[in-house]
Chain A
Amino acid sequence: MRYGLKIAFRYLTANKAQTGLLITGVAVGVFVFIFMSALIGGLAVYLVQSTVGNVSHVTVEAPSREASLLVSEADGDVLVVTQAATNQRELLRTADAFLPLIDTWEGIAATSRQVVGNGLAVRGQVRAPVSVTGVDLDKLSAIADIAGSITSGDADVSGMKVVIGSSLAEDLSIRVGQVLRLQSDRDIDLGLMVSGIFEIGVEALDRRAAFVSLATARTLFELPQGVSRIEIKLEDLNQAEQFARRIEAETGLAATPWTEGNAQLLSGLRAQANSGNLIKAFALITIVIGVASALLLSTYRRRPEIGIMRAMGASRGFVVLVFVTQGALIGLLGGMIGAAIGFAALSPFPLPENAEPGGFPIDVRQGAYGLAISLTALGAILASILPARSASRVDPVSVIGQ
């Protein structure tokens, strides 16, 4: 084993230019692999972040009050007519009972009880439809990062204040400190002072959202108790489905993960990951072919030596070992060099969470360095098996010559 390694190493160092080129080629392939992993991974983080970063990961609402069927269908055909219950608004009345419990769960970043409803923002002759969200004072920025997106004023909804988006402010030509009239769909009218204007970059929020305190919203929508929904932000947004299921199981409420409304994004991400994998597979195939052809050439050049080694008592297995070891060394070395270069080249890029819109969202953490190195080493070993086997079949008699 050790001796085979020595000979393999000597063969590689005997022709430094050729070995250097080969290892460079492998390293380039590995770099492509790592670059694709980091780019696809970074893009996914960036896209998900910009889509889901400012929305609820799991939304809890009251279960539907549709009448359930009491007759078993097994008893025969059942014809039913159900009518949606429209005489009562669906409300979470038990929120205060289980919210403290959910808050203690591992992996929950924030929860926010909300009273929501629709209305009109009115200023002079301008009227704009708005979606009003009433939140606890300290939870204004729990779901969307309002505080971090304020362009003027403060993120403050205490008392009779309202925080609105920049597009809405423009439409209404309103500035911080001025008064905005909010007219709810319950025909309640309130004058609220604009305390802050935010710009998140999501049109639905910037043009349509108005944030007020829970108390203000209760007044606007005539809801003295209960809340309309609870929005939950998770530490890991990939866990949304598990958490939604857990909430449903433990509270009996309806919980919707963000993934449910974003099937297109998810399938887009999957397609993107697939094409990334295809490119990575091509990089690996190129490595395998390169190593195989270089080693095959080397076995042809060394046929006389291989014959002499066999005559001197080297077994076939030993010859195989020498050439497979060369493949493994090339793969390992090329892999590590490629990974090191990849890491060094990708590190300067900002993480996708912080990437500027229109920037290059590369995630250096998702370079899959270990995977790249081990797949390359494995590929190079596989690539060397064919040349090694052909080397081990060299007939000493044919090369010794009479």
Chain B
Amino acid sequence: MDIIKTGNLKKSYMLGKVEVKALNGVDVSIQKGEFVAIMGPSGCGKSTFLNMVGMLDIPTSGEIYVEGNDVTGMSSNKRAEYRLRHIGFIFQFFNLFNELTAIENIMFPMMLNRMPNYRKNAQELLNLVGLGDRIHHLPSELSGGQQQRVTIARSLANSPKILLADEPTGNLDTKSSKEIIELFRKLNLERGQTIVMVTHSQEIGEKADRIIHFRDGIIEK
């Protein structure tokens, strides 16, 4: 079954008086449990696509189906609720809360979700990403790769249906990048986690089940 399906998805931005067509009719189907990489040149609409699927923003036209339900046209509160329950985000730049420790960063979305036992669950997620011994470290006390692993642990806090990662290795060295991809693979295999990952790197992209190529707001081939 398709966990994500988009139909003629379009998004344009106004830059002053100029209309920028970031997405120009995208039809994509992604299966539950798939690990998909999205690749393409800079500015071709990859992040925009991820933001649409993650309901950070609303499309100009077209449909997005999650598990068969059309999710476009939701109110801002409903979209927040949707993200809270079903989506995990990982961004290129480290996006942890600076004044919260590693474990608190993971507890926070759990608290937002009103989940019980959040401290114990957050600890387990930190163990899962291999940072069980760094729970009380502040982000500034962790390396880039470690921070990104905390971000991944945080993105799993709500047991999301879909994990969306926008160039998660973009700011990491080769070794850390490899570790992150291996972590994704592990999550995908062990938990059946659906992952949609944007990347620049062919080497990283090839680790996924499938690569979707974007160009100028549409899908190539």
A, B bound:
no
